[in-house]
Amino acid sequence: MDANKAFEDMKRYRLAKPEWSLLPLLGAAVAGGASRVSVTIDASGTTFDFDGKGLTAKQAEDVFPRGFKQAGRERELAVGLYMLAQSEPSSLTYEGWDGSSGSRIKVEGGKVKVEPLNKSPFKESGPFNRVKMSVKKGWRPFGGLFGGGKTE
């Protein structure tokens, strides 16, 4: 099963309350050995940073096809990305680095694109992960819970 088909099949994992959308990402961080998590919410969107094991390109390819069928980091990341994508952000990206290689998962318009990274996209050294959800200016997904509010 490819990533796009698997992404569509995740409808059964929709959480009852949108404010719970970050919980699976926290689960992915913990399952990957994170010792630190940072969430930044502003008018442009939400950034969820955590240290711990990043996904290799092969693991990233399998996040949606295999992730929701098994427990652990991949499933939690798959569910978290799926939930955030339901708010129709202007962009949704996961980037992970394991110290020597990494991956990027982009979800746009219900389509998933996975690419390998040969260079860390982060200024932090060592393993690191980031989920970034950008929202349209003035748009308030989930009632503004994850950014997009007007700045004054």
Q: What is the mean pLDDT of residues 85-94?
A: 87
Point out the least confidently predicted range of 95-104, 127-136, 138-147.
Answer: 138-147
Q: What is the mean pLDDT of residues 54-65?
A: 89
Q: What is the mean pLDDT of residues 39-66?
A: 89
Question: What's the pLDDT score for residue 38?
Answer: 95
The pTM of the full predicted model, rounded to 2 decimals, is 0.81
- pLDDT single digits (tens) 131-141: 999 987 655 55
Q: Which of 90, 123, 81, 96 is nearest to 32 (CA)?
A: 96
Residue 21 has pLDDT above 70, yes or no: yes
Tell me the β-bridge partners of 94: 105, 131
For residue 130, give Cα distances in angstroms to 16, 51, 69, 114.
24, 9, 23, 15
